[in-house]
């Protein structure tokens, strides 16, 4: 394994389409890449008063991101933005001031939604945040995925209809990470 990628899923739902997408798309990467979903559901609500004594879950989360060569965000859209749980995780990783774990990590942004615009607004909001956090983020290709019948096959892999698009996305993300990790 040459590259470790932390996968951050913006949904806590048991049967989350985004979690399924995250689990399926990583199978399209070459074997030099290892992907690990990082838990965010156990993080407390961010409170600046806790900066000096962060919870164990916060320390674990930050260590996992810090150890990764890149970050893959796979998020639903909630009310035309990212879910609060994801923003909470982003805030945790960014603090205390000067000790952000995000800076410099090559990022990819993906999302699937039941709505017609396939998380476009959420992805744009996320890009705004991670740009501020100094994450070099792949801009093309984009992938706005609509949750529909056949998106996944019966064993949870990407279905035939979306395979070409998502393989192309992953090929570019792999190259993006390789370009930014020295």
**Footprint of ligand FNR (CB under 6 A):** 11, 13, 16-18, 76-80, 113-115, 117, 147
Shortest gap between Cβ of 121 and ligand FNR (angstroms)?
7
Among 57, 66, 128, 75, residue whose Cα is nearest residue 94: 66
| Smallest gap from residue 85 Cβ to ligand FNR (A) | 10
CA-based Rg of the chain, rounded to a whole angstrom? 16
Distances (CA, A) of 57 to 15, 61, 89, 145: 23, 6, 11, 31
Q: Which residue is nearest to ligand FNR (CB)?
A: 115
The pair of structure tokens assigned to 95 is 């603090």
Task: Decide whether 115 or 136 has the Cβ nearer to ligand FNR.
Answer: 115
Report the residue number, 3 or 169, with the smaller CB distance to ligand FNR.
Answer: 169
CB of 115 to ligand FNR, least distance (A): 2
Return the number of the residue (27 or 148) whose C-beta is nearest ligand FNR.
148
The alpha helices in the chain, defined as continuous H runs, are 17-25, 56-67, 84-94, 120-132, 160-180
């Amino acid at each position: 394994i040459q590259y470790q990628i932390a996968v951050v899923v913006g949904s806590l739902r048991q049967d989350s389409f985004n979690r399924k997408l995250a689990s399926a798309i990583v199978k399209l990467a070459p074997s030099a890449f290892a992907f690990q979903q990082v838990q965010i559901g156990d993080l407390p609500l961010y409170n600046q008063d806790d900066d000096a004594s962060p919870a164990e879950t916060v320390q674990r989360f930050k260590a996992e991101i810090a150890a990764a060569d890149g970050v893959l965000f796979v998020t639903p859209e909630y009310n035309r933005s990212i879910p609060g749980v994801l923003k909470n995780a982003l805030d945790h990783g960014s603090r205390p001031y000067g000790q952000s774990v995000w800076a410099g990590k090559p990022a990819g942004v993906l999302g699937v939604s039941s709505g017609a615009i396939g998380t476009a607004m959420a992805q744009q909001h996320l890009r705004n945040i991670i740009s501020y956090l100094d994450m070099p983020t792949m801009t093309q290709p984009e992938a706005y995925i609509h949750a529909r019948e056949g998106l996944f096959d019966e064993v949870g892999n990407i279905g035939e209809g979306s395979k070409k698009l998502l393989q192309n996305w992953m090929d570019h993300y792999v190259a993006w990470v390789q370009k930014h990790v020295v």
